[in-house]
Amino acid sequence: MGKTITEKILDDHLVEGELEPGEEIGIEIDQVLSQDTTGTMVWLQFEALGLDDVQTELAAQYCDHQTYQFDFKNTDDHRFLRSAAGTYGAYFSRPGNGICHQVHKENFAAPGKTLLGSDSHTPTPGGLGELAIGAGGLDIAVAMGGGAYYVEMPEIVNVQLEGELPEWATAKDIALEMLRRLTVKGGVGKIFEYTGEGAESLTIPERTTITNLGTELGATSSIFGTDEKTKDWLSRIGREDEYVELSADDDAEYADTITVDLSELEPLIAKPSMPDNVVPVREVAGQDVEQVMVGSCTNGAYEDILPAAKMVEDREIARHTEMIVAPGSKQASEMLAREGWTAELMAAGVNFSEATCGACIGIGHVPASDSVSLRTFNRNFEGRSGIEDDSVFLCSPEVAAAAAIKGEIVDPRDLADELGDLEAPGLEMGSTYSAGMGQDDPDIISPEEAIDDELIKGPNIGDVPLKDELDSDIEGPALLKMEDNITTDHIIPATSDILKYRSNIEKLSDFTLSRVDETFSQRAKDSDGGFLVAGENYGQGSSREHAALCPMYLGIEGVLAQSFARIHKANLFNFGLVPLTIDEDTYAKIDQGDNVEIVDDVAEGVRSGKETFTVRVNDDWEAEAHLDASERERRILAAGGKLSLTKQQYEED
Ligand code: MIC
Ligand code: SF4
């Protein structure tokens, strides 16, 4: 039987298990990446594991989320990361050099390789044919130490792209169409493989926009094969020798096939406050827009910003609208400057941000109260922009630029009719990439050029908390009951006042679930253990392991939810919290404050492979709760988390 692209890469990297959907597999990791806000824990855990050197082909540490360094704590974090990269042998990308996904794509991502990253949008270089997966920091630390990465073998779904995009429809609209059809849960347990003549017609920046947004579907990863376009892109940046041919066999078998006819697509937009709240732009046209942002790790390449620049060239953006370009990398900023587009954008009234995540997580450019912000980003979860009742729409750079010109949401086709001289910019590749970036970039410090050879820890950098072995009796109050689709932004928000504590769990845990209930962390501290209760897709969004680590630190022992997001569930195991699945009726019946007792011996049940546990609520009624865990995950849980277990294993070896 023929193989899919994913199966070919997995076959080359498989160290344990079989490629059967649902089975746990262990794979060898070639490259790892981490960023500043998850990276501090990655290296603290690497240190706690007693590891000496990076064992993967390549590790790269980026500083991208908190580059404004509002507080010395951010700067100390960055210095600690530089010292860790130097001490252990990773590349270090300096603050301001750009967002990890864009910079990694430009410098290191290579077809046929595996990449594991402590950020949920790690799958971005899937557009180049790399099999890239997001995970929690502890998984990254273990992989960097040479350990395999374990994941449930996903179903491989083929997305057949037919036809070609019409004028004004873009790669962003392909991704938004996928979200409209499948929702934010539609990709859980899946890898999407994009093939067909439509896929071949897309350039690398367009493909990486689609693979980046696969994360919003909840997918394990998304990938394209390689072809002339891949070769051309790699040769533009002086890495043509890294090209490998990669395509699915003609008789490859997929779990499912989704067909998207590109010629039928039109400009789309995701309304507040979920990326799957997608409608045609025309449906929401006419709303006043106060802010437009073009950039981020989704649409922050030079080729993403260029269409917006061409649209505003020789025009002025509306007086009451602010337009900000937030390039994904310094490379993109540099090319815009070299090719004259920075001046054009400025002349039109556009402002620039440095190449940082910034506004995407509520750091800078917070929208005014009760106003509409149009962004080319990938997430618009409520409150993420830095203001609680925000109104953030997600769209393509073309739709964003059209709104900036008109001052209101408008389908660019209608704006073109109205203005008479506005042409669809189309996509043009840049011609001034600097070749061999990874080697020559002054903002990337290679392991050979390392500045430090020991860790430098400022006063805010804390220790990694450890949990005891799993108890036999688990009983406590349902400390908080939450709804469906609770994001990690709800559990541990990412705004600047909180982000500075990512390396200080004691402080950070005070903010746990504060966006849902301000009194939560105090209540958890006052209680001797307890549970969280949630609906479907609990923990969707980011890879931040702090969303499991902080509840663990506060003494939470388990989460009862209707379903879990993939990375968050793995993080719960990694920090020794029991993730139990309950049905809709049980969810509806449990109230906040109810006493929940797991009737069975939990430690024994976890060890022996027990799948169904009985929960007794208020000594009054009972229900079933399920533990869906591999043998390895059970060992992790029983040991009180992956750090304890891995340390034990290293000691035994
Ligand atoms: C995000 O987009 O939510 C983040 C901020 O990049 C996170 C990582 C983090 O919380 O540090 C992610 O996507 O994993
Ligand atoms: Fe940064 Fe936003 Fe991308 Fe996360 S989604 S990596 S915060 S730009």
- Compare 432 and 294 and report the one with higher pLDDT: 294
pLDDT digits 0-9 by tens, 548-589: 999 999 999 999 999 999 999 999 999 999 999 999 999 999
Q: For residues 36 and 297, what is the distance between their CA atoms, to the nearest angstrom?
A: 15
Tokens describing residue 157? 């779904």
- Would the ipTM clear 0.90, i.e. be above it? yes
pLDDT digits 0-9 by tens, 489-516: 999 999 889 999 999 999 999 999 999 9
Q: How far is CA 193 from the centre of its chain?
A: 18
pLDDT digits 0-9 by tens, 576-629: 999 999 999 999 999 999 999 999 999 999 999 999 999 999 999 999 999 999
The conformational region for residue 238 under phi > 0 = left, psi -120 to 50 = alpha, else beta, is left
Show Cβ contacts of residue 522 under 8 Å, excluding neighbours closer than 6 positions. Answer: none
CA of 583 to the centre of ligand 2 (A): 33
Ligand 2 pocket, 119 CB below 6 A? Answer: yes
pLDDT digits 0-9 by tens, 362-416: 999 999 999 999 999 999 999 999 999 999 999 999 999 999 999 999 999 999 9
Q: How confident is the model at residue 1 (pLDDT cuts 50, 70, 90)?
A: confident
Relative to the alpha carbon of 360, which ligand is closest?
Answer: 2
Q: For residues 39 and 84, what is the distance between their CA atoms, to the nearest angstrom?
A: 10
CA of 308 to the centre of ligand 1 (A): 26
pLDDT at 420 over 70: yes
pLDDT digits 0-9 by tens, 109-133: 999 999 999 999 999 999 999 999 9
Q: Are the beta carbons of 471 and 607 closer than 8 angstroms?
A: no
Q: What is the reported pLDDT for 237? A: 85
Query: How do beta strands 91-93 and 444-445 pair?
Result: antiparallel
Q: Are the beta carbons of 220 and 250 closer than 8 angstroms?
A: no
Ligand 2 pocket, 499 CB below 6 A? Answer: no
Q: For residues 174 and 234, what is the distance between their CA atoms, to the nearest angstrom?
A: 24
Ligand 1 pocket, 487 CB below 6 A? Answer: no
Ligand 2 pocket, 304 CB below 6 A? Answer: no
pLDDT digits 0-9 by tens, 345-358: 999 999 999 999 99
Pocket probe for ligand 1: among 74, 102, 120, 138, the residue whose CB has the most ligand atoms within 8 Å is 120
Atom of ligand 2 nearest to the CA of 298: 3
pLDDT at 22 over 70: yes
Query: How do beta strands 278-280 and 268-270 pair?
Result: antiparallel
Ligand 1 pocket, 499 CB below 6 A? Answer: no
Ligand 1 pocket, 37 CB below 6 A? Answer: yes
pLDDT at 42 over 80: yes
Q: What is the reported pLDDT for 369? A: 97
Ligand 1 pocket, 34 CB below 6 A? Answer: no
pLDDT digits 0-9 by tens, 48-98: 999 999 999 999 999 999 999 999 999 999 999 999 999 999 999 999 999
> Sheet containing 31-34: which strands, arranged edge to edge?
131-134, 114-117, 31-34, 58-62, 91-93, 444-445
CA of 493 to the centre of ligand 1 (A): 10
Ligand 1 pocket, 137 CB below 6 A? Answer: no
Q: How confident is the model at residue 647 (pLDDT cuts 50, 70, 90)?
A: confident
pLDDT at 479 over 50: yes
CA of 438 to the centre of ligand 2 (A): 21
β-pair partners for 538:
564
Q: Report angle CA 571, 543, 195 to the nearest 5 degrees.
A: 115
Pocket probe for ligand 2: among 62, 67, 120, 360, the residue whose CB has the most ligand atoms within 8 Å is 360
pLDDT at 433 over 80: no
Q: What is the reported pLDDT for 310? A: 98
Q: 455, exposed or middle or buried, with CB in 10 Å at 0-12, 13-18, 19+?
A: middle
> Sheet containing 190-195: which strands, arranged edge to edge?
221-224, 190-195, 155-162, 256-261
Ligand 1 pocket, 156 CB below 6 A? Answer: no
* Upstream peptide bond of 509 is cis (omega within 30 degrees of 0): no
Q: Are the beta carbons of 385 and 373 closer than 8 angstroms?
A: yes
Residue whose CA is at the smallest distance from ligand 2 atom 7: 357
Q: What is the reported pLDDT for 442? A: 86
pLDDT at 242 over 60: yes
pLDDT at 307 over 60: yes
Ligand 1 pocket, 321 CB below 6 A? Answer: no
- Compare 433 and 198 and report the one with higher pLDDT: 198
CA of 357 to the centre of ligand 2 (A): 5
Q: For residues 279 and 469, what is the distance between their CA atoms, to the nearest angstrom?
A: 49
What is the largest distance, in Å, between two alpha-carbon atoms of the chain? Answer: 74
Relative to the alpha carbon of 213, which ligand is closest?
Answer: 2
Q: What is the reported pLDDT for 437? A: 53
CA of 391 to the centre of ligand 2 (A): 18
Q: Are the beta carbons of 164 and 263 closer than 8 angstroms?
A: yes
Relative to the alpha carbon of 117, which ligand is closest?
Answer: 1
pTM to 2 decimal places: 0.98
DSSP sequence for 107-140: HT--TT-EEEESSTTTTGGGGGT-EEEE--HHHH
Q: What is the reported pLDDT for 436? A: 47
Q: How confident is the model at residue 649 (pLDDT cuts 50, 70, 90)?
A: confident
- Mean pLDDT over all residues of the chain? 96
